[in-house]
Amino acid sequence: MKKHSKRLPEGLRFGPLFDEAEVEMVSEVVRSGRLTQFSSSLVTEFEDAFAAYVEAPAAIAVNSGTAALHTALAAAGIGLGDEVIVPAFTFIGTVGPILQQQAVPVFTDIDPQTFCISVEDAARKITPKTKAILAVDMFGHPADLDPLRELAAEHSLVLIEDACQAHGAKYKGARVGNLADLTCFSFYESKNMTTGEGGMITTGNERLAQLCRMIRHQGEENWGIIKRLGFNYRMPALQAALGVVQIKKLDKFNEMRRERAAIYTKALSDLDLQLPGENPDVWSVFHVYSFLLPRRLAERRDEIVQHLREERVPVGVAYPRPLYASPVFAHLEGPFECPVTEDVCSRVITLPTLQSIPVKIAETIGEITRDVISEYME
């Protein structure tokens, strides 16, 4: 195995990009002793700022992206035996809440270029039991929302958008957040903006907004009046404090992510790889940079990833297998018929685009990745 002249520093780790503004805002919360949404106004302030950013009438803060999705599904009335159309190529946080509602995920194939849900396959898999479509903006690239809205309207379905990787992404000039019935975001530390943990639901439907607010707080409508089963999904003020600062930096952060993606594209463009692109009507925020090896190297993907890690490249595989291959879904009846998903899972490799990665380090990551993969193509 060839060692390369360029080396990345040992113990390389990249996290969120903070400065004194976040430190001071969090310190103020600690000094105040007002730590919850009931004693602090910061959660409401963050909700208002985020709603304004995505141009949605309402935003409901929760404590994780998974909680946002669970709350949205519950507000949409998804329950026992209902079917939810969902891509097979996604994180478990997208689909786990469907099972928690005792509903049935109907795994759907993806578009081979964007890795977002295939509208055509979604249409094929709708049955009389289908109640919702849950589309994922994969790796920061919005799903094809116009035909999904049309499909949902045709069959009287709720359209939920998982934008947990797509803060600030645009579809036909509009930021995601008010283009579906309910849109869900995550603020985990690797996201384009972060509150450590945290999530947000945005919607233009006031009835759904009120339901989401009730569900995140134990199903309580007013003090002592419990209208339905709910959860403790409230966002603490410490998380909101970070969010109030981070939302102001999101546009800059997204440009930085796109800059790192462009660096990788420049380094890898001469190789026989399928590199990420953007549909003409989309502005992606490149949560990660994903590319596909040629099919002749699919069986060596894990070997290539290990080689890159030995060169200290912070490489990943998202996602290594379709979700339906996980044991938790063993009770579901197949066949699932997602050939594109299975092909992508066998060949995908991801590189980090975090805004905290210095440009010079991103250039070195791209060059080492190019050199390592080139060895396997000889």
Per the structure, the complete domain to which residue 113 belongs is given by 20-248
Check residue 3 and give its pLDDT. Answer: 60
pLDDT in tens, 189-246: 999 999 999 999 999 999 999 999 999 999 998 888 888 999 999 999 999 999 999 9
Same domain flag for 200 and 85: yes
Check residue 1 and give its pLDDT. Answer: 55
pLDDT at 371 over 70: yes
Check residue 333 and give its pLDDT. Answer: 87
Single out the residue in 194, 218, 248 at which a domain terminates.
Answer: 248
Same domain flag for 155 and 294: no
Single out the residue in 223, 248, 273 at which a domain terminates.
Answer: 248
Check residue 266 and give its pLDDT. Answer: 98
Q: Which position has the higher pLDDT, 277 or 259? A: 259
Same domain flag for 216 and 81: yes
Same domain flag for 226 and 372: no
The per-residue pLDDT of the chain, averaged, comes to 96
Share of the chain above pLDDT 70, in %: 99
Check residue 89 and give its pLDDT. Answer: 98
Same domain flag for 274 and 201: no
pLDDT in tens, 314-366: 999 999 999 999 999 999 988 999 999 999 999 999 999 999 999 999 999 99
Check residue 6 and give its pLDDT. Answer: 76
Check residue 238 and give its pLDDT. Answer: 97
Residue 2: pLDDT band (50, 70, 90) is low
Check residue 4 and give its pLDDT. Answer: 62
pLDDT in tens, 19-39: 999 999 999 999 999 999 999
Three state DSSP letters for the chain: CCCCCCCCCCCCCCCCCCCHHHHHHHHHHHHHCCCCCCCCCHHHHHHHHHHHHHCCCEEEEECCHHHHHHHHHHHCCCCCCCEEEEECCCCHHHHHHHHHCCCEEEEECECCCCCCECHHHHHHCCCCCEEEEEEECHHHCCCCHHHHHHHHHHCCCEEEEECCCCCCCEECCEECCCCCCEEEEECECCCCCCCECCEEEEECCHHHHHHHHHHHECCEEECCEECCCCCECCCCHHHHHHHHHHHHHHHHHHHHHHHHHHHHHHHHCCCCCECCCCCCCEECCCCEEEEECCHHHHHHHHHHHHHHHHCCCCCECCCCCCHHHCHHHCCCCCCCCCHHHHHHHHHEEEEECCCCCCHHHHHHHHHHHHHHHHHHHC
- CATH code (residue 366): 3.90.1150.10
Check residue 292 and give its pLDDT. Answer: 98
> Could you tell me if residue 1 is inside a domain?
no
Share of the chain above pLDDT 90, in %: 93
pLDDT in tens, 126-159: 999 999 999 999 999 999 999 999 999 999 999 9
pLDDT in tens, 163-183: 999 999 999 999 999 999 999
Check residue 225 and give its pLDDT. Answer: 85
Check residue 223 and give its pLDDT. Answer: 86
Same domain flag for 165 and 279: no
> Could you tell me if residue 258 is inside a domain?
yes
Number of domains in the chain: 2
Same domain flag for 191 and 255: no
